[in-house]
Amino acid sequence: MAQVSHKGFTEAKNLFITEDSIFLREKVNGVLVLEDNIIEVNDLEYSFGEIKAVDNINFVVRRGEIFSFLGPNGAGKSTVINILTTLLPMQKGKVIIADHDLRTEPEKVRESIGIVFQELTLDRDMTVRETLEYHGRLYSMPKAQRQARVNELLNLVELEAKRNVLTRYLSGGMKRRLEIARGLMTRPKVLFMDEPTIGLDPQTRIRIWDYVRDINREGTTIFLTTHYMDEADQLSDYISIIDHGQIIATGKPWELKNALGQDVIYLETSDNQGASDILKKLETVRGVRDKSKGIIVMVNVDGTYLLPEIMDKLRNGGIKIRAVNLKKPSMDDVFVHYTGRELRDTGTEKAVVVKPGRR
């Protein structure tokens, strides 16, 4: 059992946000117990020339978990995944994956992980079976084991019928499934998935999610990056929100949402500023934030019962209400709460410029 006191954890104040979160639960006699951590990342930094793509990132992933990096394009998610999968060299920091130090034992790390890349990386000129076969051979799997595993995985991702079809003739969803099967070919301890459902239609996405859950249930730890709120919310045991190369918050999906209070009320009024001032005085209101046309009120109690009170207060203050909406906090709200901007609007506006000259 490895007992390690972790500088990275004590310094990263915003790493975990609630009392019962993993960090505190793991503390035994003041020493962090890491025996169950399959990924430990400490003070990770990476720069492309002058541009810092990853800035002092710390996190742990526990064995058997689905852990997500949620953030906009260009937030540094792919850079982190590329470092963890040894495609980019380590510049600064310490990473342990499946008990191997990424810096000193990259080959051991490679043997322990599987990867599903963001872009399709299938050879169009190979068949489905050959794709898996090639992968198994790359990892020196014995022939019998390779064949058994190919059958097993084609069954899992429902591609038996396509066994001898060139990958160029597969649909987008099938290609994704094949890539997932390929990532699982060697029974990795951790499966890295970079934006696994990007560019897929809603039904296919849900199907891919089912596979991800199945795989996880069988014991594979999954680290995924996504810029889809619902994906992170639906799949993850833990989420780290990442923006501008930094982790802004980490927690279980419900913990992150609870930080916003129990409910979120959207109001459009004749005087948004006045309304905001009135509501901020209420004890049951956790915070108020401006939107382009209205305001968002985060409340600590059941909004269904608080809403009439709010409306009365505003009416008494001489403020006319034009529109009301009450909902549970969504991941979108969580993201805006922590980053101050909306995920879908950010696009590549502040995207990290990857090496010039690359494709």
Question: Shortest Cβ distance from residue 252 to another protein (Å)?
Answer: 30
Query: Rounded to whole angstroms, what are the CA distances from 320 to 3, 277, 281, 311?
Result: 60, 15, 19, 9
* Amino acid type, 246: Q
Binding to another protein (CB under 8 A): which residues in 327-356? Answer: 354
Tokens 């990275």 locate to: 8
Nearer residue to another protein within complex by CB, 45 or 271: 45
Q: How far apart are CA 93 and CA 103, in angstroms?
A: 9
Q: Is 318 left (phi over 0), alpha (psi -120 to 50) or beta?
A: left
Number of H helices, E strands in the chain: 14, 16
Do 242 and 232 contact (CB within 8 A), yes or no? no
Structure tokens at 126: 């190979």
Binding to another protein (CB under 8 A): which residues in 169-228? Answer: 182
| Closest C-alpha among 226, 246, 249, 255 to residue 70 | 226
Nearer residue to another protein within complex by CB, 123 or 201: 123
Binding test (CB under 8 A) with another protein, winner from 78, 197, 220, 226:
78
Nearer residue to another protein within complex by CB, 138 or 148: 138
Nearer residue to another protein within complex by CB, 111 or 237: 111
Q: How far apart are CA 277 and CA 291, in angstroms?
A: 15
Binding test (CB under 8 A) with another protein, winner from 37, 42, 58, 85:
85
Query: Rounded to whole angstroms, what are the CA distances from 284 to 260, 271, 274?
Result: 12, 21, 18
Nearer residue to another protein within complex by CB, 43 or 105: 105
Q: Rule CB under 8 A: is residue 87 a binding residue for another protein? A: yes
Taking residues 56 to 75 in sequence order and writing x for each that binds another protein by CB under 8 A, - otherwise, the string is --------------------
Taking residues 100 to 139 in sequence order and writing x for each that binds another protein by CB under 8 A, - otherwise, the string is -------x--xx---x-x-xxxxx-xx---x---xx-xxx
Binding test (CB under 8 A) with another protein, winner from 30, 308, 318, 357:
357
Binding test (CB under 8 A) with another protein, winner from 86, 147, 204, 216:
86
Binding to another protein (CB under 8 A): which residues in 284-303? Answer: none
Size of the site for another protein (CB under 8 A): 31
Question: Shortest Cβ distance from residue 146 to another protein (Å)?
Answer: 11
* Amino acid type, 282: L
Nearer residue to another protein within complex by CB, 55 or 111: 111
Nearer residue to another protein within complex by CB, 80 or 159: 80
Question: Shortest Cβ distance from residue 125 to another protein (Å)?
Answer: 5
Question: Shortest Cβ distance from residue 216 to another protein (Å)?
Answer: 21
| Closest C-alpha among 245, 246, 339 to residue 53 | 245
Q: How far apart are CA 135 and CA 110, in angstroms?
A: 13
CA angle 95, 220, 98 (to 5 degrees): 25
Question: Shortest Cβ distance from residue 186 to another protein (Å)?
Answer: 9
| Closest C-alpha among 110, 67, 94 to residue 225 | 67
Question: Shortest Cβ distance from residue 49 to another protein (Å)?
Answer: 14
CA angle 240, 241, 243 (to 5 degrees): 135
Work out the end-to-end distance of the chain between its first and last CA atoms, rounded to an integer number of angstroms. Answer: 45
Report the interface residues with another protein, using CB under 8 A.
78, 82, 85-89, 107, 110-111, 115, 117, 119-123, 125-126, 130, 134-135, 137-140, 182, 354, 357-359
